[in-house]
Amino acid sequence: MIAETKLSKLRELIEDSSEQELIWINGYLTGLMSAKSAAGPLPDSLIKKLTIVYGTETGNSKKISTVFAQQLKKAGIQIKLQSLDQYRLSDLVKEEYLLAIISTHGDGEPPAAAKKFYDYIHTNSLSLDKIKYAVLALGDTAYPLFCKTGEDVDYRLQGLGAKPLLSLTKCDVDFEQTANDWLERLLKTLSPAKTNSSPSQIIPSKKTGKKIYEGIILSNTNLNGRGSSKQTHHIELSANDVVYEPGDSLGIVPENPTNLVNSILNTAPIDGSKIFNYRNQDYSLYDLLKKKLNITYLPERVVAKYATIAQQEIPSTRMDLLNLIKIYPIKDEAHFEDVINILEPITPRLYSIASSLAAHESEVHLTVVRNCFTLNNEVHRGLCSDYLTNLPTDAAIEFYIHRNSEFKLPSPDKDIIMIGPGTGIAPFRSFIEERNASGASGRNWLFYGDQHFESDFLYQTEIQNYVQVGALTNVDVAFSRDQKEKIYVQHKLLARSKEVFSWLESGAYIYVCGAKSMGEDVEKVLVQIIEEAGANSIEQAQSYLLNLKEDGRYQKDVY
């Protein structure tokens, strides 16, 4: 039996429906009854609300999540959309339907915004058997651990009892079509009766593949003065038709040192002219080792594979290929060919662009510190920074532009506060050049720091000139080793707390670029400033900063 009120509504619906609509309703009800018989509850009675969380490095995961949220709302599903750095972890066990859209950063690591969530699910024994979930992983096949964070999250959620709605889907740089297909499958799974047409191309396709530019080195100059412990180079290169925006990065695959490649070939039982097929192209072994394969600071996972091929016990450590074959020799050519097959591609490196096209047409500028570190009592140099800082004038170099929609200038009338010690100054040089060239009316405030005023004040003359012409309203500098007590940019921020808070209250945007540890210290100080200068409680100050993030007024590019 059916209640009279419901029967009355049903009659009205039938009377107001066309023949085609009645046929559709009949099919719809038949499908629901079939689903109920096979799987219990009705699909639409189950899917009432769903949570979408995203972990992004450059904005793509956020972009996809926002579009998906709109489409799922149209299907009648209530959506909660949150970045993983804002997601309340205690809510996870309460979720019923969860979509995780997450990118992979660096050597298989979660993006900074997803680190808290990633660590939480991997270090806690949670009961997630009530959750039905799906993971869309974003990555770049140029990196060895393609979509590793998405893989880890998917594996861990299943391990904690969650049930997958769809199998893990991985997206490369050209993610649009894969993401569209994934959403279409998801909509059919979540709400089949409401999916009348394909949502294909809801994320517009862009030109596929990275555009590779060929640049020519115009100049390569060490910015540090005499006596500095650092070597930071300002590198200018020209490239026809190059397109980028302030906040973007330049991506490059560095070459291995020639002397290292020759030493390996002189030690290994194989001829450097031997041809190998790598990613459907033929290369000599020399070219493979020089331009394609990583042979320095090999990760433990590769060393472990080498140990199996060499049939020797090798401690868990990172090691250069040359040292491996010297200490743990390979028997013959066939075994060394196996070694070639386990080597991973050279990982692209990203450098914040330090110029504006409005100021330097057809040019890209970089700020690169030559990296040095000690491993197994040996001094090593960073592969890419050593490669770049040694490039001579007129040398040719291939690169691509890595877009970063999460680190962008606001409208020209808005004030900005830039916090960038060391090479963190790079994108802010781009910001200042762009605002100066375009005649932006917003005020610009720079906080910069390094070790010593005399030897480490990068772009000192330029910064002073920008102050004189009014392109920089305020500049506060901190040189940590010029006095007994170390002074950093966060100390300078705190000393100007009232004015900083006043700028924020007036709608200023705040940007942080540099080391991750510095970014954490700066964030703590910002909360303190908001609390004290704004007469807020600690909870109110944290909420204030969270609102800045959500409004896009607090942006970070930390590493």
How do the domains of the chain map onto residue ranges?
43-194, 213-255+347-402, 263-342, 416-558
Instruction: Please compute, for residue 405, the number of CA atoms within 13 A of its CA located in the half-sphere on the CB side.
Output: 7
CATH fold of 213-255+347-402: Elongation Factor Tu (Ef-tu); domain 3 (2.40.30)
Say how far apart CA 299 and CA 38 lie, in whole Å: 49
For 257, the token pair is 């040192």
For 313, the token pair is 């016990």
Say how far apart CA 153 and CA 496 lie, in whole Å: 42
Decide: helix, strand or coil at residue 470: coil
Decide: helix, strand or coil at residue 532: helix
Q: Which residues contact 110 (CB under 8 A, 6 or more apart)?
A: 55, 102, 104, 117, 118, 149, 152
Question: Which CATH number describes the domain made up of 43-194?
Answer: 3.40.50.360
Say how far apart CA 456 and CA 466 lie, in whole Å: 19
pLDDT digits 0-9 by tens, 354-375:
999 999 999 999 999 998 877 6
Chain centroid to CA 406: 9
Say how far apart CA 269 and CA 330 lie, in whole Å: 8
- The amino acid present at 106, given as its one-letter code, is G
Question: CB of 77 within 8 A of CB of 195?
Answer: no
Question: CB of 427 within 8 A of CB of 354?
Answer: yes
Other CB atoms closer than 10 Å to residue 527's CB: what's the count?
Answer: 17
Residues of the chain where predicted confidence (pLDDT) is lower than 70: 1-46, 192-209, 375-376
For 420, the token pair is 């960038």
CATH fold of 416-558: Rossmann fold (3.40.50)
Tell me if 43-194 shares its fold with 416-558. Answer: yes
Specify the pLDDT at position 144.
84
Chain centroid to CA 523: 19
- Compute CA distances 429 → 30, 181, 459, 463, 470, whole Å: 64, 40, 9, 9, 15
Confidence (pTM)? 0.80
pLDDT digits 0-9 by tens, 401-425:
999 988 999 999 999 999 999 999 9
